Structure 1
Amino acid sequence: MAFTRASGKHRRPSRTQRGTARAAGVAALATSGVVGSLAAPALAAGPAAAQTGLTPVVTLGDAVADRIDAQAAAQHEAAREAAEAAARKAAEQAAREKAAEAAAEARAEKERAAREAERKRLNTFVSPIAGSYVSTGYKSGGAVWSSGSHTGVDFHAASGTPVRSVGIGTVVEAGWGGAYGNQIVIRMNDGTYTQYGHLSSLGVSVGQQVTAGQQIGVSGATGNVTGAHLHFEARTTAEYGSDIDPVAYLRAHGVNL
């Protein structure tokens, strides 16, 4: 007796059909609330990851996310390092500029100090006879002087006492000066002139540069005198008759008499 299979009946469902049916069953369980208690066994009994194709998709997404995070972290680190390098460079530049400014200020201060020292040196004046005093004043009258009055002042000084230049200048006369005896005339640094008369000997020559306090000769009694002393004049020119008050002149230059 021949057996025949009814067409379309009792055929095993295909894999697609089984998956669809399983999904429908899970949905039905979720709707009925059963999935809450059966979730773990149901999912455990479910199709393998290789059959559904879901796990590869999730894995691929995690890998991409990790790569993006790593790139972001690397970019953040690079930006941080660049910012730190820029900050270090700026700090180094600021330090160099500060050091340069300090060096420039130190040079400027040194130059100012040098200028001030030179100014003081140029403006330093001393008495022509150290520790002496004026024995005969300016414009004193009498027959002793041909002009009728004293054109300078006399400093008390025994013969042989060192005579000093009162300031910085250049010797314009050094020799015999008639009634002044041996004399020296110096053009001072400020353009005025000073004269030193009745010297017993001269220690400088014409054209020589002298400084304040430098010995230029020694006192004596040469020329028209009654005794040893130093005749000192301050003038506006090198010539006789341009005299100014020598005491006021010295005091104006800081010399206390």
Structure 2
Amino acid sequence: MAFTCATGKSTEKNRPTGKHRKPGRFERTTARAAGVAALTATGVVGTLAAPALAAEPAAEQTGLIPVVTVENSIVDQIDAQAIAQERAAAEAAAAKKAAQEAARQKAAAKAEAEREAKERAAREAERKRLLSYVAPIAGSYVSTGYKSGGAVWSSGSHTGVDFHAASGTSVHAVGTGTVVEAGWGGSYGNNIVIKMNDGTYTQYGHLSSIGVSVGQTVTPGQQIGLSGATGKVTGPHLHFEARTTPEYGSDIDPVAYLRGHGVNL
């Protein structure tokens, strides 16, 4: 763009051209800034004398301070981002550890609950077993009933029942109780009397052998002896009685007794 002076002639023609042209203000400032930046990079600026630097334009004119400020701001942002990432990683690790511990505690609590449940079930099953009753000889049947008459019995009638059994057949306690007699019982031959947990008594007679002793605790189905033909008897079998006391003459119906305790005869 050409400018016109007071004479009306263009001033463009009066400006020097080519290599003799004087650098403009913008060109000088840019050159100085580039020089200072280069010197700063090489460390030369630090060795320059104060008067020489005083001749240079203000830093604001070179644009160096804005550049340093921007660089510091970026470094601060990077540091803040690194700190935030480190904190987030630590929090994630802590959360993972807490979750693992919670899962471990939950699994341990579940295992403990299952163990306790199994123990309760086992105790309940054992309690029921101890309260249960069984037949004195498994798979057998009553061959002579209660109160059957005949001269063979001194009382005139049968005070118990006979279970069919060959000699040497396993004889079991019908329930939980304590042995109060184990030995020779006169007409009963080798016999066992047990005081049951409900306060009643059971007797097992004509045994070929005795496998328990007085004071011993027995449980339902436990083998206490073997059947035989000892005492006043015509052949091998098991004589079984239920009594209200351990003494002869306090007998009650053995079949009704067993059925009343859940035994299927």
TM-score range, shorter chain: 0.5 to 0.7
Instruction: Supply the AA of the counterpart residue of 2:226.
Output: G
Would the alpha carbon gap of residues 247 and 109 (structure 1) be closer, same or farther in structure 2, given more than 3 Å must change? same
| Residues 191-245 of structure 1: CA deviation (Å, up to 9, x unaligned) | 542101233543433233444241413231523x565432211234423344443
Percent of aligned pairs with the same amino acid: 64
Query: In the alignment, does 2:233 pair up with 1:251?
Result: no
Q: 1:137-158: per-residue Cα shift (whole Å, max 9, x none)?
A: 3344667656665442222335
Tell whether the 8 Å contact from 1:185 to 1:193 is kept in structure 2 after alignment.
yes
Aligned to 2:27: 45
User: Secondary structure of 2:215's match?
Assistant: coil
Is the alpha carbon distance of 1:86 and 1:201 closer, same or farther for their aligned partners in structure 2, counting shifts above 3 Å? closer
Give the structure 2 partner of residue 217 of structure 1: 226
Distance in 2 separating the partners of 1:131 and 1:219: 17
Secondary structure of the corresponding residue to residue 246 of structure 2: coil
Question: Which runs of 5 or more structure 2 residues have no equivalent in the other structure?
Answer: 1-22, 34-55
In structure 2, the residue corresponding to 1:51 is in which secondary structure? coil
Which residue number in structure 2 is paired with residue 70 of structure 1?
78
Q: Deviations over 1:157-192 (max 9, x none)?
A: 355544333244332102333443432101235554
Question: Is the CA contact (8 Å cut-off) linking 1:128 and 1:213 kept in structure 2?
Answer: no
Change (3 A) 1:61 1:209: same
Quote the Cα distance in structure 2 between the aligned partners of 1:144 and 1:152: 13
Corresponding residue number in structure 2 for 1:6: none
Distance in structure 2 (CA, Å) of the matches to 1:133 and 1:43 = 132
Equivalent AA in structure 2 for residue 229 of structure 1: H
Query: What amino acid sits opposite 2:79 in the alignment?
Result: Q
- Where 2:202 maps in the other structure, the secondary structure is strand
AA aligned opposite 1:62:
V
Once the 2 structures are TM-superposed, how far is the Cα of residue 247 of structure 1 from its aligned partner?
1.9
Q: Is the 8 Å Cα contact of residues 209 and 225 (structure 2) preserved in structure 1? A: no
Q: Which residue of 1 aligns with 2:111?
A: 103
Which runs of no fewer than 5 residues in structure 1 stay unpaired? 1-40
Question: Do the aligned partners of 1:200 and 1:222 also contact (CA within 8 Å) in 2?
Answer: no
Task: Report the count of equivalent residues.
Answer: 216
- Judged with a 3 Å threshold, the aligned counterparts in structure 2 of structure 1 residues 130 and 85 are, in CA distance, closer, same or farther, namely closer
Tell me if 1:164 matches 2:172.
yes
Question: Normalization by structure 1: what TM-score?
Answer: 0.66
- On the 8 A contact 2:162/2:237 being kept in 1, the answer is yes
TM-score (norm 2): 0.65
Partner residue in 1 for 2:123: 115
Alignment of 1:216-235 (within 5 A): 216-220=225-229, 222-223=231-232, 225=233, 228-235=236-243
Q: Distance in 2 between matches of 1:160 and 1:76?
A: 87
Is 1:204 aligned with 2:195?
Answer: no
1:77–1:43 Cα change, 3 Å: farther
Provide the alpha-carbon RMSD of the alignment. 3.4
Q: What do residues 67-93 of structure 1 show as CA deviations (whole Å, max 9, x unaligned)?
A: 331232123112211221221121121
Cα distance in structure 1, aligned partners of 2:24 and 2:123? 101
* Aligned ranges 1:109-148 → 2 under 5 Å: 109-119=117-127, 121-123=129-131, 125-140=133-148
Counterpart in the other structure of 1:94: 102
Stretch moving more, 52-61 or 81-90: 52-61
Aligned AA (1:246): P
